[in-house]
Structure 1
Amino acid sequence: MQAQELPVLPHQESALRRAGEALNQIRPDAARDLDSAFRREPSLIGQAAEGKTDGAVIAMADEHRVRLDPEARAGRFVENWQGLARERAGGDQARADKATMRMGAMAESLRRDPELAKALERRAPELELKLERGRSIQKSLEQSIGIGRERDRGMSL
């Protein structure tokens, strides 16, 4: 429905919730992993609707692995960050602004995931960061995209 820009009806929402609850009875957080897999690879939705669920099952297992492994989450974070950095550099100001907002949200998310932050510290060069002593990876990422208090230090009138 969303792909066709149609509203999700109450009975559809209820059915989705019940299906998610049933899936989570089989394996905790399975619905979350499936949702993440579908967001990452939308073509799986059509395949699953046609009864071809192998791809969705494999993608769910991969999302489960990424969710539990800080190093895998770091790899995914770096991949997404680099893609957004390319969008920022692409020349389209509206897309660049949107990418910057998403990058800011990604940096902010590190407050809730200290294991990921630690794993990212080891991958700072892939994020084109030079970590300064005493500064968190989150603050370094925010500064790299011009977010935070350091942004206008010395530049104010």
Structure 2
Amino acid sequence: MRIKIDFFSNSNTEPSAKMREAMAKAKVGNEAACEDPTLNELVATACKILGKPAGIFLISGTMSNVIAYKVHIQRSGDYLLLDETSHPLIVQSGLIAAQAHATPLPIKGTRGIFTGEQIVEFITRPSLRNIPRVGLVSIEQTTNFGGMHVPNQQNILSMLRNLI
């Protein structure tokens, strides 16, 4: 038997009948007031699995990305390095500039993957008041538009550790 697997996006999936039934029967409450028992259980379970004391439920990858970018971009206009084919750069409606107040600096990788050597010049550039500094390096876990390839994150992380 052949099973069709679509890795493009989780937004292309349809819930099964059992999933729809579970959603219909789920206990709900005011999520903003932390009174939704189903969501509270989901967050608690995720925290337990990940060994974290607390968590927050974010409804989309776009929301997750913009929050992460805002946390790490300290000065408006600082660079956010990412592959030129990265999902946030291509399809997330300008969130990098408009919401995170960062300047996207696309790196030409191969199949959505850049190397530590490609970004070292930007990381080691002197910090001047009129030139953006690198505020964040964004690495996709699997490259969406790069053909679903998985980068060797160790290459980039080890180079960054050596620079710090």
Q: Same fold (TM over 0.5)?
A: no
Using the size of structure 1 for normalisation, the TM-score is 0.28
Structure number with the bigger relative contact order (C-alpha 8 A, sep ≥ 6) is 2
Greater strand percent: which structure?
Answer: 2
Greater helix percent: which structure?
Answer: 1
